[in-house]
């Protein structure tokens, strides 16, 4: 939310951050004062002085010397620069303004500062100046036609050190010479007013200056200790009584026995191993003699002190104090130690709402007062005061990773493939073709069926050379059910083909064409997996009906075979097979007849306690529906 109030010769703009639960959690107040336009030409007496205050100069010095401060400031400035400025209109009684996408206000803002690229640079530099010094001057001017720019409009954010008043007008100096602003140029000041004096600027860096000095001083101390240690190896003091023993040859080419210059020989002995690692001097000690009372008088004086073990602790403490004092994300100041280089600049929603949006809102409202509304009024737009510059933080939004949840919900048939692709970063162009989808479905069943030959044939893979599967086992004798559940017959109904096979006639293998896009082998494969799933569901529910102690008796029995050991009550068939066919209905949405055949088939297996075999299911689908692979 934002508001603009007139105050004296300037305006006060306030941006309030609203949390998800509707609470106003953080607000940032700034001041805006137009200084130069066609009817305005205010000097320092009527405006705040453009001279940089001492603390602002020191704040910029700390920005140049303390890397943690520079990184955090540029992080926030880059975040603000990535957002988009949009035209909006304030609606009474509504917190957020209404975006304006057409008309002169939208066109005027779209061309402001040279478009999105120029607006990004303007916002970035203005944010740096507000965060460090709490003060910025936004200047819009027409570049001299003689310079070959064709009268192009230029917008820049200048610091207090770059802006001066020469007694008759305003000047800016970016470092390569002063530029006088003309009567048609625009300059207005935006600053964070100090609570003690509204005309003075303040920033969180100002109160953190003592901590920044301490942090910089600790860094200088460590650097000084390193320089002192590198300046030399120290001073070695030896008594004059030290000498070489008589008869020992000095281990230097230039030294003589015993009476040579002791100091020169010692230095040469110490330097020789450095030059030549193969010399005996690298491992053989140099022997000297001296009176006993002088042995302990040799001294080594160092020019440095050992690095203080607390230097790191003191710097970390100072950095933590600065993180608490600065109005910047603490995790950015301290460094994202748990992130890699891909996510180091990732911006979460909390950082956007607590740090980026308030500054962006202040700059947007400042542009509204200093340029947008006067420009609209000069263009003849009615009710120009209703329009304002607003912002869009969508480019900063870090979408939560929902890919894992999307995959889980898709497996549970709670979302569709379009949603799954969207949440995993893929588009509709990545969707499989019908042939690819058919092959994926068949491949997913490859390890779940007892006869993969049918799948291989459907995929166009030759089965030559693949050994024949073992013949299916004989149908076990049905279990004797209780009297109240005694079935009318002893097994699945005998088909005509099976009857002919019993009389010595081979069953018919003519495959009827199955309606639909999928071939018969795919329908049979899907039905096979669905039947196994239904039997598993039923087995779990049968096991759940047993006592806790009785469940251990069936621990090693596959769930899809529990109906062979635990009687299934006919009255509970609907409960045992509930939700068992949802997957099959998804795979074959137009084949309710296949679902009905599979349901009757599973109920017969449960009722009679008969083991499922693929050939039984194939016969049922072939005889009742003509789906014969």
Q: How confident is the model at residue 266 (pLDDT cuts 50, 70, 90)?
A: confident
Q: Which backbone phi and psi does 48 adopt, to 5 degrees?
A: -70, 145
Q: What is the pLDDT of residue 498?
A: 47
Task: Report whether pLDDT(231) > 90.
Answer: no
Q: What is the mean pLDDT of residues 614-623?
A: 87
When pLDDT is cut at 50, 70 and 90, the band that residue 318 belongs to is: confident
Q: How far apart are the first and last CA of the chain?
A: 67
DSSP of 568-597: --GGGHHHHTTTTTHHHHHHSTT-HHHHHH
| pLDDT (average), residues 198-227 | 85
Spatial distance between the Cα atoms of 538 and 534, rounded to a whole number of angstroms: 6
Residue 344: Cβ-neighbour burial (10 angstroms; 0-12, 13-18, 19+): exposed
447-493 residue pLDDT tens: 666 666 666 666 666 555 555 444 444 444 444 444 544 444 444 44
DSSP state, residue 395: G
pLDDT attached to residue 62: 93
Q: Are 503 and 496 in contact (CB under 8 A)?
A: no
HEC per residue, 38-85: CCCECCCCCCCCCCCCHHHHHHHHHHHHCHHHHHHHHHHHHHHHCCEE
* 336 has pLDDT over 60: no
Confidence band (pLDDT; 50, 70, 90) for 524? Answer: confident
235 band by pLDDT with thresholds 50, 70 and 90 = low
pLDDT of residue 173 exceeding 70, the answer is: yes
- Between 47 and 108, the higher pLDDT residue: 108
Bridge partners (DSSP) of residue 301 are: 235
pLDDT at 417: 86
Instruction: Between 203 and 167, name the one with better pLDDT.
Output: 203
Specify which of 17-31, 289-303, 493-507, 600-614 reaches the highest per-range mean pLDDT.
Answer: 600-614
Mean pLDDT of the 603-614 span: 89
Given the structure tokens 């690692």, which residue do they identify? 277
Q: Check whether 186 has a pLDDT greater than 70.
A: yes
pLDDT of residue 457: 66
Angle at 357 between CA 353 and CA 362, to 5 degrees: 145
Mean per-residue pLDDT over the chain, rounded: 75
Q: What pLDDT band is residue 501 in, cutting at 50, 70 and 90?
A: very low
Is residue 7 over pLDDT 60? no
For 546-605, write each residue's pLDDT tens digit.
877 778 788 888 888 898 988 888 888 888 988 889 888 888 888 889 999 999 999 999
Confidence at residue 1, expressed as pLDDT on a 0 to 100 scale: 56
Q: pTM (2 decimals)?
A: 0.54
pLDDT, tens digit (0-9, with 9 covering 90-100), for 392-433: 888 776 666 778 888 888 888 888 888 888 888 888 888 888
For residue 534, what pLDDT is reported? 92
Residues 41-88 pLDDT 10s: 455 544 444 467 889 999 999 999 998 889 889 988 988 898 899 999
Contacts with 603 (C-beta within 8 Å, 6 or more apart), sequence order: 573, 577
């Amino acid at each position: 939310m934002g508001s603009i109030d007139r105050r004296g010769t300037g305006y006060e703009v306030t941006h309030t951050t609203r949390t998800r639960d509707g609470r106003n959690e953080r607000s940032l107040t700034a001041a805006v004062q137009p200084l130069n336009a066609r009817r305005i030409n205010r000097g320092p007496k009527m405006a705040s002085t453009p001279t940089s205050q001492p603390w602002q100069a020191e704040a910029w010095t700390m920005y140049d010397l303390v890397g943690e401060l520079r990184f955090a400031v540029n992080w926030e400035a880059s975040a603000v620069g990535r957002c988009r400025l949009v035209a909006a209109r304030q609606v009474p009684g509504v917190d957020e303004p209404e975006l304006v996408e057409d008309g002169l206000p939208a066109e005027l803002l779209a061309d402001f500062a040279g478009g999105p690229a120029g607006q990004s640079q303007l916002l970035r530099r203005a944010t740096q100046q507000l965060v460090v010094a709490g003060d910025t001057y936004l200047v819009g001017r027409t570049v001299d036609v003689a310079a070959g720019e064709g009268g192009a409009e230029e917008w820049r954010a200048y610091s207090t050190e770059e802006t001066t008043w020469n007694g008759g007008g305003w000047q800016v100096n970016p470092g390569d010479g002063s530029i006088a602003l003309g009567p048609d140029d625009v300059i207005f000041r935006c600053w964070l007013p100090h609570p003690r004096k509204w005309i003075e600027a303040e920033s969180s860096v100002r109160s953190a200056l003592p901590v920044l000095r301490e942090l910089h001083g600790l860094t200088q101390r460590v650097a000084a200790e390193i320089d002192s240690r590198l300046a030399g190896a120290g001073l070695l003091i030896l008594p004059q009584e030290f000498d070489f023993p008589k008869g020992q040859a000095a281990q230097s080419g230039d030294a003589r026995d015993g009476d040579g210059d002791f100091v020169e020989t010692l230095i040469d002995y110490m330097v020789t191993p450095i030059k030549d690692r193969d010399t005996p001097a690298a491992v053989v000690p140099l022997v000297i003699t001296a009176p006993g009372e002088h042995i302990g008088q040799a001294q080594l004086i160092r020019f440095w002190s050992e690095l203080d073990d607390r230097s790191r602790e003191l710097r970390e403490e100072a950095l933590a104090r600065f993180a608490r004092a600065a109005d910047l994300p603490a995790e950015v100041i301290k460094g994202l130690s748990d992130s890699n280089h891909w996510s180091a600049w990732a911006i979460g929603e909390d950082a956007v709402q607590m740090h980026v949006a308030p500054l962006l809102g202040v700059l947007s409202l400042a542009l509204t007062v200093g340029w947008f509304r006067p420009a609209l009024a000069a263009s003849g737009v009615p009710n120009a005061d209703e329009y304002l510059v607003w912002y869009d933080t969508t480019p900063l939004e870090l979408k939560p990773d929902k890919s894992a949840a999307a995959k889980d919900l898709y497996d549970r048939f709670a979302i569709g493939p379009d949603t799954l692709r969207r949440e995993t970063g893929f588009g509709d162009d990545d969707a499989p073709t019908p042939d690819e989808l058919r092959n994926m479905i068949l491949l997913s069943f490859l390890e779940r069926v007892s006869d993969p030959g049918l799948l291989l044939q459907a995929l166009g893979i030759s089965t030559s050379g693949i050994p024949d599967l073992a013949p299916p086992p004989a149908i076990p004798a049905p279990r004797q059910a209780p009297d109240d559940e005694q079935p009318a017959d002893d097994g699945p109904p005998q088909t005509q083909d099976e009857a002919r096979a019993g009389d010595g006639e081979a069953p018919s293998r003519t495959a009827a064409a199955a309606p639909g896009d999928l071939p018969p082998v795919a329908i049979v494969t899907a039905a096979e997996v669905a039947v196994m799933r239904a039997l598993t569901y039923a087995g779990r529910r049968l096991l759940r009906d047993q006592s806790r102690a009785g469940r251990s008796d069936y621990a090693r029995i596959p769930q899809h075979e529990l109906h062979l050991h635990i009687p299934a009550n006919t009255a509970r068939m609907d409960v045992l097979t509930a939700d068992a066919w949802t997957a099959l209905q998804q795979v074959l949405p137009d084949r309710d007849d296949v679902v009905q055949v599979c349901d009757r088939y599973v109920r017969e297996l449960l009722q009679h306690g008969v083991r499922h075999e693929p050939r039984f299911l194939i016969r049922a689908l072939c005889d009742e529906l003509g789906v014969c692979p």
